[in-house]
């Protein structure tokens, strides 16, 4: 005699939660690679650029250079980890063949995408949290005072928007990619230039007019400035503009990922 199945819950929310939960368990199971590694990488940036070079550099508002650098580093790591969170989710699913399972399951594109995207976003936020702690401790060690954090709520919003944007981007690339080379190419030729020219290490006011104009088309520039505003209360562009560009980026890139999800034949590699 067969044992019956358990009781079915809400047909939308329960499967959606399990997509998200499985993704969180996945990145948690490789904690060293997904959380510890990025935190150590950011720590090295803090030690080399923030602590060793801070003495020779000053930033706006006469604050030490590390106060300028830390918001940029925290956002940079958040964007990177959110991006890699969702690309890894799709790449793993394509390698193991799980991607074909998802097509057979009663899970819609929205449930799958949002579940994966929130998983990537959470990975970015967890890494950001640890980076914030380490950065704050480094600042305290250097100046015996805590780094100014003007608006913690705004910081949470900008990190979330940045994380979601890049989590959506990672999903779009993960769906589109036919092999590892595609993912690497996007990282090297698009992501790295956008991040480095987005004003992580110095103000775009120091750029030549050409690069300064080019930066105004870079959504990361607005996200980093929004984060910096949350810490310092000042940035290169108005905070409202940063917010609008960030929200628009999330919506636009999610639409692209959703379109690709319906268009691309999701097959195992």
Residues that bind another protein (CB under 8 A): 2-11, 14-15, 17-19, 21-22, 25-26, 29-30, 92, 95-98, 100-101, 103-108, 268
Nearer to another protein, 17 or 248 (CB): 17
Token code pair at residue 237: 């562009």
Nearer to another protein, 27 or 222 (CB): 27
- Rounded to whole angstroms, the Cα distance separating 183 from 37 reads 19
Shortest Å distance, C-beta 108 to another protein: 7
Shortest Å distance, C-beta 113 to another protein: 15
Shortest Å distance, C-beta 134 to another protein: 27
Shortest Å distance, C-beta 13 to another protein: 8
Nearer to another protein, 102 or 201 (CB): 102
- Rounded to whole angstroms, the Cα distance separating 68 from 85 reads 27
144: left (phi over 0), alpha (psi -120 to 50) or beta: left
Residues with Cβ < 8 Å from 23, sequence gap 6 or more?
A: 85, 89, 115, 116, 118, 119, 120
Helix locations, 180-238, DSSP H: 180-186, 192-196, 209-215, 219-232
Residues with Cβ < 8 Å from 57, sequence gap 6 or more?
A: 65
Nearer to another protein, 12 or 140 (CB): 12
Shortest Å distance, C-beta 257 to another protein: 20
Nearer to another protein, 94 or 228 (CB): 94
Residues with Cβ < 8 Å from 10, sequence gap 6 or more?
A: none
């Amino acid at each position: 005699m067969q044992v019956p199945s358990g009781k079915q819950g809400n047909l939308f929310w329960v499967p959606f939660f399990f997509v998200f939960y499985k993704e969180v368990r996945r990145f948690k199971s490789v904690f060293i690679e997904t959380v510890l590694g990025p935190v150590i990488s950011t720590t090295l940036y803090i030690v080399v650029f923030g602590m060793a070079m801070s003495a020779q550099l000053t930033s706006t508002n006469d604050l030490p250079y590390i106060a300028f650098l830390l918001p940029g580093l925290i956002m940079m790591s958040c964007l990177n980890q959110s991006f890699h969170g969702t690309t890894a989710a799709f790449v793993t699913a394509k390698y193991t063949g799980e991607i074909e399972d998802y097509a057979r399951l009663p899970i819609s594109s929205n449930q799958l995408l949002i579940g994966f995207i929130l998983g990537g976003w959470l990975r970015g936020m967890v890494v950001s949290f640890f980076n914030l702690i380490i950065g704050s401790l480094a600042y305290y060690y250097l100046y015996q005072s805590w780094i100014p954090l003007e608006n913690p709520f705004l910081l949470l919003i900008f990190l979330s928007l940045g994380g979601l944007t890049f989590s959506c981007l990672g999903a779009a690339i993960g769906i589109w990619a036919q092999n590892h080379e595609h993912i690497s190419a996007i990282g090297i030729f698009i992501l790295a230039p956008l991040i480095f020219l987005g004003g992580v290490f110095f103000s775009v006011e120091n750029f030549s007019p050409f690069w300064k104009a080019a930066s105004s088309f870079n959504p990361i520039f607005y996200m980093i400035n929004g984060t910096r505003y949350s810490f310092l209360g000042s940035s290169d562009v108005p905070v409202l503009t940063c917010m609008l560009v960030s929200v628009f980026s999330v919506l636009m890139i999610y639409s692209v990922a959703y379109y690709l999800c319906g268009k691309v034949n999701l097959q195992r590699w």
